[in-house]
Amino acid sequence: MRATLLPTPKAPPLTLRPYQAEAVDAVYRYLRDRDDNPVVVIPTAGGKTPVMSTICRDAVQKWSGRVLILAHVKELLEQTADTLRRVAPDLEIGVYSAGLKSRDTDHPIIVASIQSVYKRACELDAFDLVLVDESHLIPLDGEGMYRQFLADAKTINPNIRVVGLTATPYRLKGGMIAKEDHFLNTVCYEIGVKELIVQGFLCPLKTKAGKIKANLDNLHVRGGEFVANEVEAAMDNIVLVQSACEEIVELTQERNSCLLFTSGVAHGQHIARTIQRLAGQDCGFVCGETPGLERESILRRFKAGELKYLANVNVLTTGFDAPNIDCVTIVRPTMSPGLMYQMVGRGFRLHPDKTDCLVLDYGGNILRHGPVDDLKIKEPGSAAGEAPAKECPKCQALIHAAYATCPECDYEFPPPEKEKHESKASNAGILSGQITDTQYDVYETTYCVHAKRGAAADHPRTMRVNYRVAKNDVFGDWKSEWACPEHSGYARNKFVAWWKARSNEPPPNSAEQAVELADAGALAETRQITVRTVAGEKYDSVVNYKLGDKPPRLDGSEERDSNQPGNPHAWIDDDEIPF
């Protein structure tokens, strides 16, 4: 059964970032090619809402479908609905939420609180597509609210499809959320934190040392997490609180907005009082028991920059959007890599008044789980394995386990069997990989068609570009990169930009044609390249160039720009419904 819809006015496509367009395309391919349910993974602040908006618009306007977006908290529900209306004002969007006193049921797109609708699938009628925001909160076993609603919704429309969207595709218990025997089955698209930081879409992170760490050796684990009252007892130590707050105030003198995650209500209030005394200014505090109006007032002041410090207990991890946050302080341990990620993620957003976000970890979380861009997820029943991060005994930097030499002080680590645990407070190296950029003069450039080893015959080929450079005054070193004329989405867009910077010829559609044109002199001379090396990564990458002038067209015709901007989903047949 499909709802009868009134025609919806057409609107220009949303302007998506390249990776967002890739995510949308990946969802459509998955829904056409498979019968189960995909997950899209985009980091916190990476922009899931434009992806959802595009899918909603296509579902309603191209395929006459009906979409339900499920959220789990009031703030996230409001944020999703408001953002959808802002980026896609032509879409008819209703809200079903008891907390927001709205019970819309007949719109082509409904944003709903799962708490309000999990028993009301029949009241809402048939949907073709369900988008679940923060989908790591779907229970992996038992009859949770999501499972109950989606089972009833499938009774109404057996062909309903579900797409999960999340920044953290794993749970405290159960490991990865996308598994063959789970409700969500496969991650169809994922882009990482580090990649978006390098591309300028997320805020860079940096860390400093804590002087004293709590003794967590005697903590017990219950239900996959540290026992709450034991955690608070360990962290709410007068010496630790005083030391941590002194350091927080000292290190945030030039910071604008500091968000603190504490271990419990008493601990959070203790932190807030101590910071207020040391800093000489208010430190807000919110928890689950904070009255609604008081909480809204505190959050408004913090977002407006009127309140520099804000401590909280388990309420501002998901769905809290304050781009002005330029310091995240974690004064609690957690066994959950997803929770650690969500806490750090509050500082990912870009803001005109910040150049980076300072992360202070007093709970040993990075040592436990690894850098935020390379979290190690332990599946139930698996062995503990090697620690994903390690602490430098010389400068107390906390770095990725792959380092043989500390990037901060050049300390050389002994072989693994000789390493000893150090108990000193650590710097939190929140991102893996030290980046080194090296410029080389290019003395020769060659081109060839490259086929991926072991790939199917119809797999897209690439054009391998080889640069001969000097290393230690010897002109025999080669650096390579791969251009992707036969790919789609972000890789194709990147190739088109690469080609247009060098040539007046139209960008070719095959690697063979690209090599032929390059060998014929269609590309500008590459005189210098900048090669980026990242510690712990296998391959270097070429990140910048110094080029000569573009050569004239090979056929002698006038130069023209053949690359008009197009719809990133132009390959989609409007009649080919993906769900």
pLDDT at 109: 94
Please report the sign of the dihedral spanned by the C-alpha atoms of residue 5, residue 10, residue 16, residue 21: positive
**Is-contact 342 166, C-beta < 8 A?**
no
CB 110 within 8 A of CB 101: no
Rounded (to 5) percent helix, strand, coil in the chain: 30, 25, 50
- Which residues lie closer than 8 Å to 466 by C-beta, 6 or more apart? 445, 446, 447, 448, 478, 479, 480
Which pLDDT does position 424 carry in this prediction? 34
Q: Tell me if domain 18-191 and domain 200-216+226-418 are identical in fold.
A: yes
Point out which residues pair with 206 in neighbouring strands. 358
DSSP 3-state of 77: helix
Q: What is the pLDDT of residues 320-376, one digit of tens each?
A: 889 999 999 999 999 888 888 889 999 999 999 999 999 999 988 888 887 777 666
Q: How many CB atoms lie within 10 A of CB 117?
A: 23
Tell me the HSE value of 386 on the side-chain side, using a 13 A CA sphere. 9
Residue 396 contacts residue 427 (beta carbons within 8 Å):
yes
> What is the structure's pLDDT at 347?
94
Q: Which residue ranges make up each domain of the chain?
A: 18-191, 200-216+226-418, 435-547
Core vs surface per residue 506-544: b (16+ CB within 10 A) or e: ebbeebebbbebbeeebbbebeebebeebbeeeeeebee
Strand ranges (E), 198-343: 205-207, 221-222, 225-226, 258-261, 283-286, 309-312, 327-330
How much is the pLDDT for 352? 94
For residue 244, give Cα distances in angstroms to 210, 254, 361, 401: 7, 17, 10, 26
pLDDT of residue 566: 40
Could you tell me if residue 434 is left (phi over 0), alpha (psi between -120 and 50 degrees) or otherwise beta? beta
d(CA 182, CA 147): 11
d(CA 42, CA 166): 6
For the chain, the straight-line distance linking the first and the last C-alpha, in angstroms and rounded, comes to 14
Which distant-in-sequence residues (6+ apart) come within 8 Å of 514 by Cβ?
A: 447, 463, 483, 485, 499, 508
pLDDT for res 571:
39
Among the listed residues 320, 330, 328, 339, the one whose alpha carbon sits nearest the alpha carbon of residue 136: 339
Tokens of 95: 């809200």
Q: State which fold the 18-191 domain adopts.
A: Rossmann fold (3.40.50)
Residue 404's pLDDT is 62
**CATH class entry, domain 200-216+226-418:** alpha beta
Geometric angle at alpha carbon 361, from 356 and 363, rounded to 5°: 165
Give the whole-angstrom CA distance, residue 285 versus residue 287.
Answer: 7
Comparing C-alpha atoms, which of 313, 332, 361 is closest to residue 231? 332
**Which parts of the chain sit beneath pLDDT 70?**
1-13, 75, 138-143, 171-175, 208-211, 374-434, 453-454, 471-476, 535-538, 558-577, 579
Phi, psi (deg, nearest 5) at residue 158: -60, -20
